[in-house]
Amino acid sequence: MSAPPTPQRLLAPGRCRVVGVVNVTADSFSDGGRFLAPDDAVARGLALTAAGADVVDVGGESTRPGAGRVDAAEELRRVVPVVRELAAHGVAVSVDTMRAEVAVAAVRAGAVLVNDVSGGLADPAMAPAVAGLDAGYVLSHWRGHSDVMTSLADYGDVVADVERELSQRLDAVAAAGVDPGRVVLDPGLGFAKVAEHDWALLAALPRLAALGRPLLVGASRKRFLGTLLADGGGRALPPAARDDATAAVSALAAAAGAWGVRVHEAAASAAAVRVARAWAAASAAGERAGAGVP
């Protein structure tokens, strides 16, 4: 079995990465309970990898709207064995956690990326801990925990506000010792945001890229897609029926230059990002030919 890629290789420029989700939880909004057993979670991670995922993101705590927290011991019990086994199979593993102690344990078990949806705000120890790890760090826009975040979706200009708040968090983690070159930014779709905010942020990916760091887009199966695809009676499409729309977002995010897309099903998004890359390459070749450049 090959070794997982180093964080430096994983974060290097290239095609848009597909980050497959493994929720080792009982209450995630889309697939809670399906992969709670470690063997099931490992099998799911391997299946996502076989379907085209470049990274498998393992999380032991739901962050759906209204979710309660699990304690650290339970999160560790859920996550670490799965991370260790997937890494032993050569899988590039990310750990989805807001706790420094879980991040440290997961990286020691083989994770190469820490995906912190709170951007270091939920645990003040996170940034100093990440600074001492050989791992990349996904820093998301976040305003509060799942039980209160809906009430925090108040923006003057959502793009400008998210841009400013991400920049502030990037400065803060850098001041705590995290190498900015190891940071990926995530606009936090659905976290303290309603549908109109999510669409505005997707349309503004090139502007957010001006912050100078790679971008991860986590649109998979989220509520704003279900609302868009509501039936004639106004009933939102259920999460598992949103994968086609997710793949469409993956293609558009890749075309906009996103470093990665986080998805529940890998195959369609893996195809989508390859299409986007081929399209971009053909467009660039056409522009060079039109300009008379060999």
DSSP reduced 3-state for 278:
helix
Distance CA 172, CA 118 (A): 13
- Give the CA radius of gyration of the chain: 18
| 3-class secondary structure per residue, 114-160 | EEECCCCCCCCCHHHHHHCCCCEEEEECCCCCCCCHHHHCCCCCHHH
Measured between alpha carbons, how far is residue 200 from residues 81, 95, 169, 212, 257 in Å? 38, 28, 21, 19, 16
Residue 293 token pair: 């450049």
Catalytic positions are 222, 262
263, 246 Cβ separation under 8 angstroms: yes
